[in-house]
Structure 1
Amino acid sequence: MNTIVKNLALALGIFAIEIGSTATANTSNQTQLLAQATTPTIKIDGSSTVYPITNAIAKEFQADPANKGQVEVKISGTTGGFEKFCAGKTDISNASRPILQAEMETCKKNGVRYMEFPIAFDALTIAINPQNDWAKDITVAELKKMWEPAAQGKILRWNQVRSTWPDRPLKLFGAGDKSGTFDYFNEAIVGKAKLTRKDYTPSEDDEVLANGISKDPNALGYFGYAYYQENESKLKLLAVDNGKGAILPSTETVEKNQYQPLSRPLFIYVNLRSSTNRKLLSKFVLLYINKVAKIADSVGYVQLPSAVRDINYINFNKGKTGTVFGGKARINSKISDLLPKKPVY
């Protein structure tokens, strides 16, 4: 009998400990969930090209204990980012092209009034594998021959593009169709934003493309210049000839408007008016405007002149909404194109 009582007491003790542990775990989980629910969060999504800049600024912002909030930076491509932004699901949209007319209409329909801030210039880069010892440059016409819809299933070898290149398989890597890089590249090279062959390896993440090219001797692809610089030891650049000689992407060739038609502005779009975290978001955007030139330069993009930064400050302080690009992804853009124009919402 005593043995039974002892065993019962032991079992009840273990049960009580388990109940207590479960209750403690549940309380801990509830505390974490409550903290997450009450901590203000700036939600950012969009371009993988802009991601390195925004992510660096987010880290600096969160390192300051005076900024009581979180910054969440995700990648879904410029188009994917605008889908969320214009639905009111994010506070900031990273973009490697200006907002388009259809996106403007969606934002207007959903009451999302956005502020447009140019942040840097990018040289959209054509990269190959370092083992490629035959290609030194490529013309815009040859790029079109590679990427136009008519090339699908037909232009499959390097010597089909240029007869002096070897009879080797051509493996293409490029932006996915939710990417602003996809839109800009096809507009500049093929002639229309959504017009391209489909038999290539796509991704909205430029890091994925850079890694793919670095592992395939027969590869060619395109992405933002910062990702080339990050992977410089395992990639090789191709100079692009638009009829005025072969030009490599660089800070100097972008500033002098020589690397065309693949130089393009980068942006963030901010939904300050309907954000639930306006105070925190305002602090973040002001830090962004102040720091972006230095950070853009450090990650491999071309910083904009101080006049553009001053315009960004003025537009922010005035709460000026809209875009100066008229709902189009402008090809052959110059840095001077970012100077004052009347925005349209």
Structure 2
Amino acid sequence: MSRKSDRAVSRRQFLLGAGMASAGSIALAGCTEQGGTPTDGESSLSGEFRMTGSSTVYPLAVEVVNQFENEHSNVNIPINRTGSGGGFSNHFCVGNSVINNASRPITEGEQQQCGENDVTPHEIKVASDAVTVIVNGDNDWVDCMTVDQLGQIWREGGAQNWSDVDPSWPDEPINRFGAATTSGTFDYFKETIVGEDTNHTSEYSATERDNEILAGVQRDQYAIGYFGFAYYADNQDVVKAVSIDNGDGCVEPSLENARSGEYQPLSRPLFTYVAEGALEREEVAEFCRFFVEQSTNQDLVADTVGYVPNTEDERERELQELNDTIESVQ
């Protein structure tokens, strides 16, 4: 069986398989001519470049690379899930990868580190997400939580038992599963739920692997966790999503509510960053164009992965800015 047909798996198989894979890179291949379609059935591009970063963006990036390689076969793109921050600090900003996926914007400190190593990041918005809070399927006391209640659970020195949040809830320990500190999801959740001036609790099971969060919550009636919507969307039969009350009533996490802006404060943009210097290479430039072009693909972004696609206006803006940068370096 061919390498490509080996990867023709369902989204559920992909998410579970990806979560169970080792931390080593998954080598993928792909390439495209400008505009995304080869002119003669055979790509003239070749080369290899590395992609690191966000576990949230990871399933989308893998799907894009798979489509990219279905058109061309001579460009290899190994992908590592390192977390947004881990990808920036350990790989992208020191020149060990040329693309870094991120579930939050690059920080000033990361930009400074990149600058010290002559790496200039170019930001590309590739989709939007709804960070999803999950509880065990047998949890019959929580369907909706306020931002303040979530803050009590996830801040340092906060609630220890469910009854500490609401006296009518069980007097049982809260068992937490969440993103590691190198994760952009951790950064975003801390900022929006815990608060910039308050520490996120360290009393939780932290991981870069969303399937481990899912498994932890699935096996524990008193557990709670959070991760990107895509990992919930394909596992709605084994865990329960918590609606969020941001002051205007309970709103469930969904692509529609994220798209409309009703799901607050946990709707967020997703990014990929490419080193401007690497855009001198045609294979890197064409892959980035392809990623932008696929960002409005409803079948891929929403139906296959589970994120909100870019609008046509967003795609055109991102493509124009990307092409301007490519022109300036080539």
TM-score scaled by length of structure 1: 0.77
Aligned pair partner of 2:226 in 217, 222, 226? 222
SS of aligned partner of 1:284: helix
Structure ID, larger Rg: 1
Single out whichever of 202-211 and 46-55 deviates more from structure 2.
202-211
The aligned residue for residue 72 of structure 1 is 78
The aligned residue for residue 87 of structure 2 is 81
SS of aligned partner of 1:73: coil
**Alignment partner of 1:53 is 2:68:** no
Separation of aligned partners in 2, 1:42 and 1:214: 37
Taking a change above 3 Å as real, the CA distance of residues 60 and 82 of structure 1, as seen in their structure-2 partners, is same
Aligned pair partner of 2:50 in 40, 43, 48? 43
Q: How much has 1:245 moved relative to structure 2? A: 0.5
Separation of aligned partners in 1, 2:263 and 2:197: 20
SS of aligned partner of 1:289: helix
Deviations 1:280-320 (A, max 9, x none): 11121111111122222121111121101001110111007
Conserved 8 A contact 2:295-2:301: yes
Single out whichever of 292-301 and 78-87 deviates more from structure 2.
292-301
Aligned pair partner of 1:130 in 130, 133, 137? 137
Q: How much has 1:194 moved relative to structure 2? A: 7.7
Aligned pair partner of 1:278 in 277, 281, 295? 281
TM-score scaled by length of structure 2: 0.81
Aligned pair partner of 1:106 in 110, 113, 133? 113
Conserved 8 A contact 1:272-1:281: no
Taking a change above 3 Å as real, the CA distance of residues 170 and 98 of structure 1, as seen in their structure-2 partners, is same
**Alignment partner of 1:311 is 2:314:** no
Conserved 8 A contact 2:53-2:88: yes
Q: How much has 1:193 moved relative to structure 2? A: 7.9
Separation of aligned partners in 1, 2:215 and 2:326: 40
Separation of aligned partners in 2, 1:115 and 1:173: 33
Separation of aligned partners in 2, 1:205 and 1:194: 25
Separation of aligned partners in 2, 1:284 and 1:320: 12
SS of aligned partner of 2:196: coil
How many residue pairs match? The answer is 278
The aligned residue for residue 288 of structure 1 is 291
1:70-219 counterparts in 2 under 5 A? Answer: 70-83=76-89, 84-151=91-158, 155-192=159-196, 195-219=199-223
RMSD between aligned residues: 1.7
Runs of 5+ consecutive residues of structure 2 not aligned to the other structure: 1-45
The aligned residue for residue 236 of structure 1 is 240
Report % sequence identity.
36
Deviations 1:185-225 (A, max 9, x none): 00001112882110100011222211211111111011000
Separation of aligned partners in 2, 1:312 and 1:206: 28
SS of aligned partner of 1:281: helix
The aligned residue for residue 6 of structure 2 is none
Deviations 1:76-107 (A, max 9, x none): 11100111111111011000000000001111
